[in-house]
Amino acid sequence: MFNIILDKELREIIGTTKFAVTFGVCAVLILLAFYVGARNYQVSRQEYEAAVAENIQQMEGLTDWGSIDHRIFLPPQPLATLVSGVSNDIGRTVNMQSRGELRTEGSRFNEDPLFAVFRYLDLEYIFAIILSLFAILFGYDAVNGEKERGTLGLTFANPVPRDQYILGKIVGSFVALIVPLMIPILIGCLMLPVLGVPMDMDSWLRLAMVILAGILYFGVFLTLSVFMSTLLQSSSASLMALLVVWIFAVLIIPRTSVLVAGRSVDVPSVDQIDYEKSRFAAQLWNERMTAMQKWMKANYNDDHRQMRDGMRTFSTEQQALQDEKMNTFVEQLNEQRANKSDLRTGVALSLARISPTASFSLAASDLAYTSMELRSSYVESANAYQQEYSAFMQSKNVDYWGRYRRHGGNDDVEEPDPIDTRELPVFSYQQPPISEAIKASLPDLGLLFMFNAIFFSGAFVRFLRYDL
Amino acid sequence: MNDETKSGIDIQSDSMAASQPRIEAVNLTKRYEDGTLALDNVSFGINPGSIFAMLGGNGAGKTTTINLFLNFIEPTSGEALVDGIVTHKEPLKAKERIAYVSENVMLYPNFTAIQNLDFFARLGGKHDYSKDDYRDVLLRVGLEEVAHGRRLKGYSKGMRQKCGIAIAILKDAPAILLDEPTSGLDPHAGLEFIQLLKDLRGEGKAILMSTHDIFRAKDVSDTIGIMNEGVLVMERSAAELEGENLEQLYVQYMAGYEGSELASVPESVPDSEQRVETND
Amino acid sequence: MLQLLIEKELKAILQSPKFIATFGVCSILIMLSIFIGVREYRASLAQYEIATSLVDQKVAEATSFRNMQTKVYREPDPMQIFMSGVNYDVGRLSQIQSKQDVKLEQSAYSEDPLFAVFRYIDFAFIVQVVLSLFAIVFTYDAINGERESGTLKLVLSNAVPRAKYLIAKMTGAWLGLTIPLLIPILLGLLLLFLFKVPMTGSDWLKLTTLIGVSILYFTFFIALGLLVSSLTRTSSVSFLLLLVAWITLVLIVPRGATMAAGQLVNVPTVAEIESQKDRYRTDMQQDTDEQRHNLWEQVMAPAEGLPREERRAFYQANRSAFRELAEDLQTAMEEEIAEHNRQVNEGLRNAKSEQERLAFLLSRFSPASAYKLTAMNLGGTNTSIKKRYEDQMFAYRETYNSYVAKKSQQEKKARQEAAQKSRNSRMFRMTGSGNEAVDANDMPKFIASREPVGTAIKASILDFGLLSVFTVLAFAGAFLAFVRYDVR
């Protein structure tokens, strides 16, 4: 019996022009997203490599390691072009220094506000919009449509168990719609390596999970549509209701909840933090000046060169001490800010998760490494590199005062050799381990699953007592 | 009563009567782009104060005929005339003289019956009706007062049909076109409807009615036509048909038989038909 | 006749439960978007005020004019309430320092990526996405729905010319859908007064124009719905087609066009450009160092071969002269570097404008893009925001630099005079002067001017015209289709 119903559902959906048209549109958009994603990756990769090369180039010919300007860059992530997340909003460049706090700058959207106007057409966007509408278009009249056509009464004039009927309907619609969609999705996946996007096992696994999230997301809207069609009498009413729900879930709730909740927690602004830092730095500077004065009074020596060397050593010691103090202070400040910021993020995103679209976006960007985590992991990586870089600089006898050494003065200077840029340690961005990404996405995947279960049970229960 | 109902045909032979039929089809032919011949050289005339019933199966051409009079489609050749006005040449002028009741009357679901009537009455050029007038007409067609202020959404098919008829009455047009007007009505309502038609005929209206309902057709019409595959295969006045078995004829014409092969067709005359014949 | 038909259209729309539900939703969303916009504006304003007062404080606490640097911020604009555009994507501030490039950095989104996850909701967004859908939901069955229900036949069985009927449909739909929407819009505007948002006369002018364009945009979708309704027999088909059209026009084309332009026009990245500038600077610095070395040799030439003390004495005597020449060299170099950077920036900007022009041209196939671009022009949050501010900040930097230079000179002279009086002049220079703050009360302030109303509105004329053309074409199409529509 179940099989008969299932079979009929499949035929009823797949044979129609409606299906052909909507499936065509979805397929084209999915393929477009993959294609554009792959091309974008190539372009980003070229840009990245050009930037890295240029960075090295401009150092060539310098004779003094102390005078180089070194920048590190965030390499493009293959999945970032499919799920852009916040990857275009965060800074991609870090001006490397041996000491002091590192700052990211040069976000894609700040540099190219053109792309911020309409933003990107990525796979996540297509999924969020298309999959949900696709589900609604085919599920909205699942039950009340059959009643309107009269076929419901006709069906139940036969010995058909109700549970099998509703089960057959939901499963049938699900299979009839998702399986064909797998075709363009798989073709799209194949396009990636063909178009030169390097995908390793990790990336494939993460992409597979993003697609799984998409399937779950689709299921949410399908079960919701069927549920709605058991609640409302006329199919046009359920269609309207579902469109309203769609608008809220996809377009309104995620944005509004972040804005509403985001302002409810007070997080000190970056300007305030900067001000505290510069204040503390000025304080430290004054302390050092006083210490230097004291030292000089105590160690006055007619031999100016000796005195200068001694002063330099003392000054370096002082600087090291002060750096530590500064670091501790900055760490404290940043920790406080981070705690508040995390709290705010937690509140905002939890509220947003009322909408399954938010859950889907968050899960997808967690899996693609383009969530807010990206910035912290980039900064972490940069900090780790800073240790390497600082040690390297020290080995080259660049002191804390570094930078442009004057050639004035009466030292004999021979023509020094240009630096060998190959000696410079290379920055490689460490992606967080895949287990972290999967862990981060699990709550959202779970939420999507739960939505599915709730709406499914709702439809099921309603139908058991449905007035034929 | 009999004298009056027969008067339409008598007037036809009376030289004092209007020489031109009110509703007239002259060699009306309609061939669609895909080649199907929906109407083949159909001609008939309906005088003021008479009712013409068009019988025929689905796809016989009844609705096409009506659509031609309403200029919803244009004839391939021939003319459809209302009061001498060729409908596909002067549609707006013709429509002033036509009242139409479609097969499945829907109207505006969020308007009440009175609101619907008011709109269509004004559309038909009648701006002076009062609310009481509308109520009266609704009562006349058999719609109870409680329903008047309710939205059309909740109406049954029969109720909607009655509204359709009310609209036609309010337009007070000399020609009335009815497409399957009794298809949704229960027997009692059907009888009321027939009475209405007779009243309208008495007011001098020319009425073209397409229907499946042979029983009622025989009851009320002055002329009966049978359409089959676009051809008007039979056109007889009620007087000529007196004593004939109309059902038999109908089935024969549908099957394509005519005239002399009557005897070989098995009889299937219901009792009700017998009773009607004796009444006449 | 016309009046009768229009009245019936109006009543039919306003009395349908569908209208009450969807109109309710739209009103709530319109007012919500304005409310949130106002709140965000006030938050930005508060942040701006804190930031600038911090800058002022820092200046007040500074102890020397040498190497003094400051920051200037973009002041929030009330019009961003209605259209946030790229306001939060573009940097909020620029460092102002003699040698550094003026560059907007630290955008709101980069500092608080939480808000970049789902981004903003503003009035223009609601109009662009929700109201267009609203229009479609009401007009998709304007014609074919009446055909399906049979009322079209009934109406046209009367002496109603088709043209009149269609005009009445259009007018009725327009009046019945647009006029009610003015209510939540006006209520939303009330919020501006309630929250004391500072709106100037030109701001009101821009806002009125924005509302006008919004109405035009909405009208287009009414026309589109009527068009598709007159082209199809069943309302389910027209609904599907309109939904596909809506998705394509509103959600897909704008993004797709920008991405296409990004692929078609090649623009060097900022990272490349920065490194290029660095390379130039390094080269120039090396040159200058060489030149200075030569200069040194020149100056010291007469003292060649002399014993050490005499060399030192000679050096002391000529030191200030040498220093001056060396500094002249350095200044000349800086000026050349600044000029080079300016040219490079200019080149980059031109390439980007090319790309942008192409992107916007392609995207204007969709009325949704035309609308958004106009809204951004009027809201002052279009892509030229960067150039506008950076240009003004650049001009400010000149003023600032000359001020600081003047003050530095004064300070230096004062210090030198004080040093003469003391024995250990060198000591003083190394440890700096005392801890008193400098008097910077007369420092020039950065005041940015907003885009004049005339320019903003002029820039919108193109899109206004485009939207009008789209709308007229849609109505014309609906007209032609309906005249031949099969009403059976």
Which chain C residues are closer than 8 Å to A86 by Cβ?
109, 113, 116-117
Give residue B137's identity as a one-letter amino acid code: V
Q: What contacts B7, CB < 8 A, 6 or more positions away?
A: B49
- Per-window interface: C 374-433 vs B, CB < 8 A: none
Distance CA C115, CA C111 (A): 9
Torsion of CA C44, C48, C49, C51, to 10 degrees: 140
Task: Return the DSSP state at B261.
Answer: G
Is C111 within 8 Å of chain A by CB? yes
A81 Rama class: left (phi>0) / alpha (psi -120 to 50) / beta: alpha
CA distances for A181 relative to A39, A176, A307, A433, C465, angstroms: 22, 9, 78, 30, 40
User: Which stretches within C157-200 are classed as H helix?
Assistant: 162-194
Torsion-angle region of A335 (φ positive above 0: left; ψ -120 to 50: alpha; else: beta): alpha
Give the pLDDT score at C210: 93
Answer whether B100 sits within 8 Å of C153, measured CB to CB: yes
Query: Which of A462, A455, A427, A442 shows the shortest CA–CA distance to A75?
Result: A427
C84 neighbors C122 (Cβ within 8 angstroms): yes
Interface contact flag, C272 A51, Cβ < 8 Å:
yes
What is the reported pLDDT for A415? 55
CA neighbor of C242 nearest in space, from A243, A176, A122:
A243
Give the number of C-alpha atoms closer than 13 A to the C-alpha of residue C180, restricted to the C-beta side: 23
Beta-carbon separation of A269 and C113 below 8 A? no
Per-residue pLDDT tens digits for B29-55: 999 988 889 999 999 999 999 999 999
- Give the Cβ contact number of residue C471 at 10 Å: 20
A151 has pLDDT over 90 = no
Mutate to test the interface with C, among B92, B106, B114, B167 (most CBs of C within 10 A): B106
Reduced to 3 states (helix: H, G, I; strand: E, B; else coil), residue A428 is coil
What residue in C sits closest to B124 (Cα-Cα)?
C158
The answer to whether B98 touches B69, Cβ cutoff 8 Å, is yes
A414: left (phi over 0), alpha (psi -120 to 50) or beta: beta
Tell me what pLDDT residue C435 has: 56
Question: In this predicted model, what pLDDT tens digit does every residue of C178-228 receive, in sequence order?
Answer: 988 999 999 999 999 999 999 988 899 999 999 999 999 999 999 999 999
Cβ of B67 within 8 Å of Cβ of C160? The answer is no
Tokens of C43: 């938050």
User: Is the model more confident about C428 or about C480?
Assistant: C480
Give the one of C5, C16, C488 whose C-beta lies nearest to B67's C-beta. C488
Please write the tens of the pLDDT for every residue from A54-85: 888 878 777 778 778 899 999 998 899 899 99
**Residue C160 predicted with pLDDT over 80:** yes
| Average pLDDT score over chain C | 87
- Which of the pair, C321 or B161, is modelled with greater confidence? B161
CB contacts of C158 in chain B (<8 Å) are: 95-96, 120, 123-125, 171
Give C392-411 pLDDT, tens digit per residue: 998 998 888 888 888 888 88
CA pair distance A455, A461, nearest whole angstrom = 10
Residue C378 burial by CB count (10 A; 0-12/13-18/19+): exposed, middle or buried? Answer: buried
Q: Do B110 and C16 touch (CB under 8 A)?
A: yes
Among residues 272-301 of chain A, which lie with CB inside 8 Å of chain C?
A: 272, 274-275, 278-279, 282, 286, 289, 292-293, 296
Identity at C347, one-letter amino acid code: G
Please list every residue in chain B whose beta carbon sits closer than 8 Å to the beta carbon of residue C16: 110
pLDDT at B25: 93
> How close B145 comes to chain C (CA, Å)?
22
Q: What is residue C263's predicted lDDT score, i.e. its pLDDT? A: 78
| Contact assessment for residue A468 and residue A166, using Cβ atoms and an 8 Å cutoff | no
10 Å CB burial of residue C436 (0-12, 13-18, 19+) is exposed
> Any residues with CB less than 8 A from the CB of A233 and at least 6 apart, and which?
A144
A425, two tokens: 């340690």
Tokens of B203: 């007011």
Query: Residue C226 corresponds to which tokens in the numbers above?
Result: 């009527």
Which tens digits make up the pLDDT trace of C29-47? 999 999 999 999 998 999 8
Q: Given CB atoms, is C445 within the 8 Å cutoff of chain A?
A: no
What is the model's pLDDT at position C110? 86
Instruction: Say if the Cβ atoms of B70 and C151 lie within 8 Å.
Output: no
The tens digit of pLDDT for each residue in A295-308 reads 888 877 777 777 78
| C57 close contact with A: CB closer than 8 A | yes
Could you tell me which chain A residue has the CA closest to the CA of C250? A118
> Following DSSP, what letter does each residue of C297-360 receive, concatenated?
HHHHGGGTT--HHHHHHHHHHHHHHHHHHHHHHHHHHHHHHHHHHHHHHHHHHHHHHHHHHHHH
Q: What is the pLDDT of residue B16?
A: 38
Quick check: C4 and B122 CB within 8 A? yes
pLDDT score of B17 more than 50: no
Which residue did the predictor score with more confidence, B257 or A206? A206
**Residue A17's pLDDT band (boundaries 50, 70, 90)?**
confident
Q: What is the longest distance spanned by two Cα atoms in chain C?
A: 122
A172: helix, coil or strand?
Answer: helix
Which residues of chain A neighbour C431 with C-beta distances below 8 Å? 289, 292-293, 296
Whether the per-residue pLDDT at B2 is higher than 60: the answer is no
DSSP annotation of B60 reads S
pLDDT at B268 exceeding the cut of 60: no
Pairing of strands B175-179, B98-101: parallel
pLDDT of A16 higher than 80:
yes
CB C72 within 8 A of CB C93: yes
C chain contacts of residue B109, beta-carbon cutoff 8 Å: 149
Segments of A285-416 assigned E as strands: none
Nearest to B124 by CA among B94, B96, B163, B91: B96
User: Using an 8 Å Cβ cutoff, are A437 and A369 in contact?
Assistant: yes
C132-148 mean pLDDT = 93
Query: Can you give the pLDDT at residue C424?
Result: 56
Query: Residue B113: what pLDDT?
Result: 93
Q: Is the pLDDT of residue C307 over 70?
A: yes
Nearest to C357 by CA among C345, C368, C346, C373: C373
- How far apart are alpha carbons B250 and B180 in whole angstroms? 17
- The whole-angstrom separation of Cα C60 and Cα C68 is 12
Q: Which residues in chain B have their CB less than 8 angstroms from residue C157's CB? A: 70, 95, 98-100, 177
Contact between B106 and C161 using a beta-carbon 8 Å cutoff? no
ipTM for the predicted complex: 0.86
Whether residue C120 lies within 8 A of chain A, CB to CB, comes out as: yes
For residue range A357-371, list pLDDT tens digits in order. Answer: 999 999 999 999 999
Residues 6+ apart with CB under 8 A from B212: B55, B180, B183
Question: Which pTM does this prediction carry?
Answer: 0.85
Residue A108: CB atoms within 10 Å: 23
Q: SS3 for C252-284, per residue?
A: HHHHHHHHHHHHHCCCCCHHHHHHHHHHHHHHH
Look at strands A104-107 and B50-56 and give their pairing. unpaired
Query: Is there a contact between C45 and C341 (Cβ–Cβ < 8 Å)?
Result: no
Angstroms from C43 CA to nearest CA on chain B: 47
- Kind and range of the H or E run holding A104: strand A104-107
Cβ C390 vs Cβ C90: under 8 Å: no
- DSSP secondary structure code for residue C130 in this structure: I
On average, the pLDDT of chain B sits at: 83
Domain ranges within chain A, ordered by starting residue: 2-31+123-263+447-464
Q: Which residues of C touch A258 (CB under 8 A)?
A: 114-115, 117-118
Contact A459, A135 (CB under 8 A): no
- Is there a contact between C206 and C81 (Cβ–Cβ < 8 Å)? no
pLDDT at C302: 78
Instruction: Check if the beta carbon of residue B84 is closer than 8 Å to that of residue B114.
Output: no
3-state secondary structure B170-232: HHCCCEEEEECCCCCCCHHHHHHHHHHHHHHHHCCCEEEEEECCHHHHHHHCCEEEEEECCEE
pLDDT at A40: 86
pLDDT at C426 over 70: no
**Which stretch of A262-266, A402-406, A431-435 has the lowest confidence by average pLDDT?**
A402-406
Tell me if C457 sits within 8 A of C204, measured CB to CB: no
Nearest Cα to Cα of residue A22 among A129, A105, A133, A101:
A133
Task: Give residue-wise pLDDT tens across range A99-127.
Answer: 878 888 888 888 888 888 888 889 999 99
pLDDT per residue as tens digits for the range B102-119: 888 889 988 999 999 999
- The minimal CB distance from C269 to the residues A50, A69, A125 is found for A50
Beta bridge partners of C94: C72
First to last CA, chain A: 19
The gap from C-alpha B237 to its chain's centroid, in whole angstroms, comes to 15
- In this model, does residue A249 exceed pLDDT 50? yes
Residues 134-153 of A with CB under 8 A from C: 137
Q: Quick check: B106 and C158 CB within 8 A? A: no
The stretch C58-87 carries a mean pLDDT of 86
Single-letter code of the amino acid located at B232: L
Query: In the predicted model, what is the mean pLDDT of residues A43-48?
Result: 87
Q: Cβ separation of C4 and B123 shorter than 8 Å?
A: yes
Distance CA(C417)–CA(C419), nearest Å, equals 5
- Inter-chain contacts counted by CB atoms under 8 A, chains B and C: 73
Q: Which of A19, A31, A112, A370 to mutate to test the interface with C (most CBs of C within 10 A)?
A: A112
Mean pLDDT of A1-20: 85
Contact B/C (≥3 CB pairs under 8 Å): yes
The 3-state DSSP composition of chain A as helix, strand, coil percent (nearest 5) reads 70, 5, 25
Chains A and B touch (3+ CB pairs under 8 A): no
- Give the per-residue pLDDT at C434: 53
The pLDDT-based confidence of C423 (bands split at 50, 70, 90) is low
